[in-house]
């Protein structure tokens, strides 16, 4: 629900981290004592247990993870300690509770760091090369079987067990890697920073296993060459729309309109769009919410007044006392009444998950894409915790908010009516399968 941040060029709002100004040190150059790190660990656990409502937390798993990770602590550097505490935070199962990670490629935490010089896509929990950024000789579309003799499945589990998400949602973690936080960045923080990368892989369409020793790159070099953004998300900063003879397209990249003037701008764009759609009597609307990780719930609620057919309440009566969001909302006079197609993916989170839960509740239109990263219930109103010795920053949610819907599964995202599954060939050819599906539906509707 709160405002999101960016990583490098246009990256995900999760895991953006700050180090304290006085701690300009590289990741493992300073060794902290076991006693210092145990105190930081216990401070973290105490903060999670006392501040977080834990609506999705399995307390048995949380306790087991806590004891397992605590037993690994010894004298060590900062990044090694971060690899210990990340799985503990992940076991809370909250996408708004995460360790903040430094993003400035020039920061000394990346000094002497080595990074895998590939952009990666995850498909069916397998690792594929999307781009060989420095022409190291591995063809895009190749499947990586292991890195430094660690199987790809184990590597993904190591990263997934360090990435926070709501409940049991894995689609959001895949989307983080595929479109927001580069695999090479997450591998550095959560797996290792080796001198070289021994890659076992197969070429596209081949079962022959090859093996190459790949030289690493620096994060500075990678940040200069890698425009890491998902093509379908585009570079839009405000709502964007197109008007065609048989449909309208409305793309909303975020709901970050917290300030009065920001909200006023958002409201003006939305009002103008729906008035034009009404005047043109367009029969179909494509609402593209892919990549929208949330923001101001008032913005999301406003959008719903132009999409729904029946009055609604945004938040449930047992959510925290935000009376404005519990009021019954009427539908706008110019609300769209035609065929609604909403495009979704694992990056749809927080307020976006709330909006989609209400669309789902009223069975309004078709939801097309992948399970979202958030659903009807999420925790936020987050508080920043700074560990005393290492100065690692943690975002901890303190309240849970649920929309006024019924029968939707707790700890899952919004399930699409039409699931879309991508192949590596689709990614390489930059094919937009969701839009292709919608075009077919619109054509079919016009022929009926």
Consecutive sets of 10 residues in the chain, 448 residues long: mean pLDDT of each? 36 41 53 97 98 97 98 96 98 97 88 93 95 93 98 97 96 92 94 96 96 95 74 75 96 94 95 97 97 95 97 92 89 96 97 98 97 97 96 96 96 97 95 96 79
- Quick one: 211 and 223 in the same domain? yes
Could you tell me if residue 5 is inside a domain? no
- Quick one: 48 and 183 in the same domain? yes
- Quick one: 218 and 308 in the same domain? no
CATH number at residue 174: 2.30.42.10
Query: If you compute the radius of gyration of the chain from its CA atoms, what whole number of angstroms results?
Result: 23
Residue 91 backbone dihedrals phi, psi, to 5 degrees: -70, -10
Could you tell me if residue 87 is inside a domain? yes
> Is the separation of the CB atoms in 107 and 73 below 8 Å?
no
Which pLDDT score is estimated for 103?
Answer: 83
Which pLDDT score is estimated for 404?
Answer: 97
- Quick one: 279 and 300 in the same domain? yes
Could you tell me if residue 167 is inside a domain? yes
Token representation of residue 106: 């020039």
Last residue of a domain, one of 229, 257, 282: 229
Query: What's the total number of domains in the chain?
Result: 2
- Structural domain harbouring 140: 16-229
Q: Give the DSSP per-residue string, 386-411.
A: E-TTT--EEEE--EEEEBS--SPPTT
How many other C-beta atoms lie within 10 A of the C-beta of residue 194? 14
Which pLDDT score is estimated for 9?
Answer: 31
In terms of Cβ atoms closer than 10 Å to its own Cβ (0-12, 13-18, 19+), residue 381 is: middle
- Quick one: 200 and 66 in the same domain? yes
What 3-state class would DSSP assign to 205?
coil
Could you tell me if residue 407 is inside a domain? no
């Amino acid at each position: 629900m709160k405002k999101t941040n960016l990583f490098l060029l246009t990256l995900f709002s999760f895991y953006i981290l700050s180090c304290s100004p006085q701690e300009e040190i590289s990741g493992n150059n300073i060794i902290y004592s076991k006693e210092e790190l145990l105190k930081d660990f216990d401070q973290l656990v105490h903060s999670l247990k006392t501040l977080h409502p834990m609506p999705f937390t399995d307390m048995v798993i949380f306790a087991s993870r806590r004891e397992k990770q605590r037993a690994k602590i010894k004298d060590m550097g900062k990044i090694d300690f971060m690899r210990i505490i990340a799985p503990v935070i992940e076991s809370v199962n909250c996408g708004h509770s995460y360790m903040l990670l430094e993003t400035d490629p020039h920061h000394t935490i990346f000094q002497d760091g080595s990074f895998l010089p590939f952009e990666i896509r995850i498909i069916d929990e397998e690792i594929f090369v999307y781009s060989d950024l420095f022409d190291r000789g591995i063809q895009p579309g190749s499947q990586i079987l292991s890195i430094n003799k660690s199987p790809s499945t184990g590597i993904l589990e190591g990263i997934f067990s360090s990435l926070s998400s709501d409940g049991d949602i894995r689609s959001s973690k895949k989307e983080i890697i595929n479109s927001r936080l580069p695999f090479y960045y997450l591998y550095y923080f959560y797996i290792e920073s080796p001198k070289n990368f021994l890659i076992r892989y197969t070429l596209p369409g081949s079962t022959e296993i090859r093996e190459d020793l790949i030289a690493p790159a620096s994060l500075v070099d990678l940040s200069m060459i890698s425009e890491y953004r998902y093509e379908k998300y585009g570079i839009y900063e405000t709502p964007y729309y197109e008007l065609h003879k048989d449909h309208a397209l409305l793309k909303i990249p975020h709901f970050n309109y917290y300030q009065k003037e920001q909200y006023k701008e958002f409201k003006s764009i939305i009002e103008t769009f729906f008035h034009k759609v009404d005047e043109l009597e367009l029969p179909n609307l494509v609402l593209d919410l892919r990549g929208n990780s949330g923001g101001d719930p008032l913005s999301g609620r406003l959008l719903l007044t132009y999409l729904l057919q029946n009055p609604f309440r945004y938040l449930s009566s047992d959510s925290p006392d935000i009376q404005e969001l519990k009021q019954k909302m009427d539908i706008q006079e110019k609300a769209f009444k035609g065929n609604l197609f909403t495009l979704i993916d694992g990056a749809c989170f927080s307020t976006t998950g709330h909006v989609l839960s209400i669309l789902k509740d009223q069975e309004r239109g078709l939801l097309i894409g992948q399970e979202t990263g958030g659903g009807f219930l999420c925790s936020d109103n987050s508080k920043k915790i700074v560990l005393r010795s290492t100065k690692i920053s943690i975002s901890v949610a303190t309240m849970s908010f649920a929309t006024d819907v019924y029968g939707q599964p707790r700890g899952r995202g919004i399930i699409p009516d039409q699931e879309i599954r991508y192949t590596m060939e689709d990614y390489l050819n930059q094919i937009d399968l969701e839009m292709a599906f919608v075009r077919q539906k619109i054509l079919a509707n016009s022929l009926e």
